[in-house]
Structure 1
């Protein structure tokens, strides 16, 4: 009997449960809706915990307990769903406790509004910090660019005044005097820049003191100032900010123009250095050609003198040739006969000389033998 009653009660509960009659697609859609609702509740709980942690850090345990109790009540409600007919009284008690722990919509909106304002303030603080960091980085970049331009300028001047302009034409090495002069000029420029910056720093300090005194006076007179004065100050501030932006834009344009001008100037300086080298080469070539021309002129003068001398000799030889008379044939024959006779006599005397030399040699040998015998 008891089994039949329990079976009939279970059948009545399954018939009353609407989930059993849903299809798989409907169940999946219902599950997705429940998961979405759970995510919303989780985000809402995190927001409430954050608000409670910021407002009352000591009450976080109690708040967590309250949130935990609400979550537990929801879980107990889900567990009680299959046995809805058996535990109706306990579920009614749980719903009553939930009604006592839940926040109203107005309270939730107030907390959400405060959290939004807190997030906005935090974003503003982060934005201010980021702007400060960006300003510092931009200042560092600008300083680096200025230093790079100064280094390039110093390198160009050093190359122009010392490496190129300081080379001695006689020795081909850099002169120490020009190197020292370049460094003295550089140190003088640095001292002038330091003095200029010191004066500028002093002027800025004076203006800063004036501005601080004006700010102090304005703070003292802040209670007296009216809304119109504040509006006027805002208008003036906006006007000054616009002017500052315009000046910054002009300064940026001037910096870009100065950079381009410096690039063009460096290009022209390089071109000028190249043209100076070409001019020196052309001057050396002209000097060599002038030396060659002087040597050619000297050789031409010498050749002209030799030509004149040759003309004089040629004229004299021509005159001698024109005055020359051929001797008679008989005279030539007689001269040749005399020549043959003289040559014959020369051969005879050569034989006599050879015979005399042989006799002298023989007498010398005999004399030497006699001298040796007499010595013995």
Structure 2
């Protein structure tokens, strides 16, 4: 409320009711104006977001430029327009967020105002409209205003107590900070002594670690020598293994060759055995003819050979006689024919 209870001193009940009604009308008008301003702002933002941006350069700017230069300028213009549109979108989004926050705050405030108006109309205006209850309405109005002032005083007292509590808490923290600073000077000496002792302990540990490191270096050198020896031995073993693998491959090839030859010999042996069995079978089935038949056949063969030789001589003589017909007489020729 914009007027305190002291403002109503010396006024009649009708004047007080009239002032209360004016106050209510002013509050409603202010709320309505706020709503209209909010709607108008939203409409302007939507219209501005949908409007097209104008070109910043005229067509006469491109006179006397090559095609490549015009393309480059057009690309720059396009990039600038995209950047401007993006900035406008960001600004619009930010403005919308701010307006949404304002609208939410206004809605909360308007809810409180509506509640206060409804309470005021329920408790005061309804009573004022009744002529008989004008005195009661004025008393209720005064009580209402006094209650609001009392609530404001309570809020003020609450904030004052909270402020005093925060001041006391601040003093307490400052005092603790000063005590810590004072104790810090005392603790520095103790801390320095502790650090000195700790330093000596760490130096002893460092000496021990250095000795251990020296011993580890010696062990490392010995290990490196052993490792090199093992590597050399491994290399020799690998070479021997390679040589053995070559020998094994050669022996394997020789063995395969021997196996092939053995297979061939086995085949030849099988063929020889088969031939031997066939010959044995032929020999077992063979039967010799009788002796007299053999002698007679041999004599017949001898006679045939003699006859062949005789006929061969006769044929030779006949050929000679035909070759020399004039050398012999008629008696000779007739004898030969006989």
TM more than 0.5: no
Higher-Rg structure is: 2
| TM-score, scaled relative to structure 2 | 0.30
| TM-score, scaled relative to structure 1 | 0.27
